[in-house]
Amino acid sequence: MKLKALAFLGLRRRPLRTAALVIIATVLSAAAFGGQILVRSLQRGLESLEQRLGADIIVLPEGAESKVDLQNLLLQGTPGYFYMDKSVMSGLSKINGVEKLSAQYFLVSANAECCTVQVQIIGFDEESDFTVKPWLKEAYSGALKENEIIVGAGLSTRVGHTLSLYGVECRAVGKLEKTGTGLDTAVYATNETVKGLIKASAKQGIAVLSKQSPEDVVSSVYIKAADSADIDELTAEINKELDGVQAVRTKSMMTGTAEKLKVFSKSVTALTASVWGLAAVIMLSSFYLYANERKKEFAVLRAIGFSRRQLGGLVLKQSLITSGAGGAAGVLLTALVILPFVRLIEQKAALPLLLPGWFSTLLYGAAAAVTVLLTGSLSAALSAYKLSRIDTGKILREGC
Amino acid sequence: MRISAREISVCYNKKGRRITALDGVSFTPRAGELTLITGRSGSGKTTLINTLAGLLAPAEGQVCYDDTDIYRINDKQLSAFRCKNIGYIPQGASALADLTVMQNILLPSALAGTDKAAYAEQLVKTLGLEGLCRSYPDELSGGELRRLAAARALINSPSVIFADEPTNDLDSENARVMLELLKTQAENGAAVIAVTHDSTALAYADSLYSIDGGRLIGKENGYEAALCRPLVS
């Protein structure tokens, strides 16, 4: 008989009670870890989007929103395309307050034999781009040549392999980090490559452009305003000066997503707090009731020679075992449920989710487990305090 | 070890009524003797041994073991003292439900940090608990639980043993075994104090006391003259 084993023996002999305590701790831990991961993923998703947009104003063809959901196309990478006359570039360059501008081409690969997968193809100008290149650098630092592409993290194409787009074999020279958005399944290339793909699409009998030549169009123009410029005024001026286009302030485009994220984040936090609070109350009550149930046992232990401190240690040890096991189980369960299904949650919530890195995830997991351990310890401490105050003589005399 | 209780009084409230369980009791049981305390239900027998065993602090008076007032030392010291020196057989079932019979018996020795496995085997045999070592308390009869409590109280070979109705739930044969065991402990030098209703126990007593209304009346060596021994401080 080892004194150290006393805590384990007590738990082993009462499997139902032990299981109930472990389950409560599991719920606490899963709520803390899952909630934290979801909220943090949402914040990171939005931060990533803000970082990637990189421009103050986006100029698009008027009526583009009738063809695709602009927000989904630009922020989520939902496949779509539209074009406007390239002359818009010269018009924009004449407007005061425009510091930098760069055109992009959008194209969607066909869901046909000529293409490996249906993806959003984004073309950018090697010379003038200031929105895509800064973060493309993380995947490929050189200049992209014709028919070279950088692929999103969500595509299975590996660096050095090719992707067939409208019958053109495009070689992947880099692969981007995960963004947590639909842009993870996008392909980036130079404008020249995309123009070539537009032409190739015509040869495949898929007319992306009906009348114009790809040389005469662009899909969008990204504008960096001068420091002295008022962005709202500049947006209004572009809309006034140029026909057939619409200028949108990127920040306003993000507002809807940010608002949605705020609501979702608040809901997750409220739900997490409710589940956590409820589980914590159940845990405290369980230990309290458990303490009542054990009064006779503790009176006997006192008679044998256990000190109050030793009894407190026994209760604490049992709590650490159950809350430790439950805490770890909760973290593991959350990892098994949330991490693999984050894409599904993203789709259902229509919000960008970008999971924290492994180290941060581990830290959140550890924090959740420690929180559960502390809650368990607090419950045990209250229970131990109650038990330490028992009148041993009275309980032994009266048997209750 | 010399035990002395001096002018101890214990009061408690029961359903709003103030009960005086012990009223200025002075008592000095002797080492090497089996002291029996008899009395009606509610007369204060259990309260007296709980107070002497360091489990119930008196409102007034002192309980000294040699020169130490046990209610003036801290909980850790008192608990360690109890573990090493006092064996206590409580009234009613007191086995720890989560432990086997053998684990129950060995618990005080584990707490004291000693290995008493061989002595535990001997006690199990003496008390007729062979074959039950791996059983759990809920598989035992009332009599077997009493014997288990006795074995657990004796495992650390304490110098003072308190037994609250030790023959309750026991058949005559097991009651005899129990009383002989307590008598043997006394003969080996322990101070054994038992409270009982069982008249068969009187034959084993070296000293006999009666308690009534919280007051102790001493009778020595087979109903001799009433005597309260002089207190030793």
The ipTM of this complex is: 0.88
pLDDT at A397: 65
**If pLDDT is split at 50, 70 and 90, which confidence band does A76 have?**
low
Total residue length of chain A = 400
Chain A hits for B53, CB-CB cut-off 8 Å, are 303
pLDDT at B227: 36
Pick B145 or A358 by higher pLDDT: B145
Chain A hits for B75, CB-CB cut-off 8 Å, are 307-309
Inter-residue contact B165 to B196 (CB < 8 Å):
yes
Question: What value does the CA radius of gyration of chain A take, rounded to a whole number of Å?
Answer: 30
Tokens of B38: 């008899």
Give the residue from A337, A287, A336, A281 showing the smallest Cα distance to A312.
A287
Q: What is the mean pLDDT of residues A343-360?
A: 74
Query: Which of B76, B91, B111, B135 to mutate against chain A (most A CBs within 10 Å)?
Result: B111
pLDDT at A4: 82
Distance of CA A151 to the CA centre of its chain: 20
pLDDT at A274: 87
Residue B222 has pLDDT above 50, yes or no: no
Q: A63 to each of A17, A102, A245, B71, how far by Cα in Å? A: 64, 21, 8, 91
Inter-residue contact A222 to A106 (CB < 8 Å):
no
Q: How many CB atoms lie within 10 A of CB A164?
A: 14
**If pLDDT is split at 50, 70 and 90, which confidence band does B221 have?**
very low
Chain A hits for B109, CB-CB cut-off 8 Å, are 1
Residue B130 has pLDDT above 50, yes or no: yes
Which A-chain residues 221-260 have CB contacts (< 8 A) with chain B? none
Give the residue from A149, A73, A82, A75 showing the smallest Cα distance to A117.
A149
| Contact B82/A at CB under 8 A | yes
The domain limits of chain B are: 3-220
A108-124 pLDDT, tens digit each: 877 655 556 678 888 99
Q: What is the mean pLDDT of residues A369-374?
A: 92
Residue B147 has pLDDT above 80, yes or no: yes
Which A-chain residues 302-331 have CB contacts (< 8 A) with chain B? 302-310
Phi, psi of B87 (to 5 degrees): -110, 130
**If pLDDT is split at 50, 70 and 90, which confidence band does A10 have?**
confident
Inter-residue contact A110 to A166 (CB < 8 Å):
yes
A263-322 pLDDT, tens digit each: 877 888 888 888 878 878 888 888 778 777 788 888 899 999 999 899 888 888 988 999
Q: How far apart, in whole angstroms, are the C-alpha atoms of residue B173 and residue B148? A: 16
pLDDT at B224: 39
Q: Class of B3-220 per CATH?
A: alpha beta
Q: Which amino acid is at A332?
A: L
CB contact under 8 A, A1 and B110: yes
Q: How many CB atoms lie within 10 A of CB A49?
A: 24
Of the candidates A2, A13, A302, the beta carbon closest to that of B110 is on: A2
Task: Name residue B164's beta-bridge partners.
Answer: B195
Inter-residue contact A387 to A298 (CB < 8 Å):
yes
Q: How far apart, in whole angstroms, are the C-alpha atoms of residue A61 and residue A306? A: 82
Give the residue from A182, A346, A350 showing the smallest Cα distance to A260.
A350
A-B interface: how many C-beta pairs under 8 angstroms?
Answer: 94
**If pLDDT is split at 50, 70 and 90, which confidence band does B8 have?**
very high
pLDDT at A78: 64
Beta-carbon contacts of residue A365 (< 8 Å; ≥ 6 apart): A33, A331, A334, A335
| A43-47, A358-362, B174-178: the lowest-pLDDT one | A43-47
How near does any CA of chain B get to the CA of A20, in Å? 17
Residue A243 has pLDDT above 70, yes or no: yes
Q: What is the mean pLDDT of residues B33-55?
A: 91
Give the residue from A26, A37, A50, A32 showing the smallest Cα distance to A342.
A37
B151-176 pLDDT, tens digit each: 999 999 999 999 999 998 888 888 99
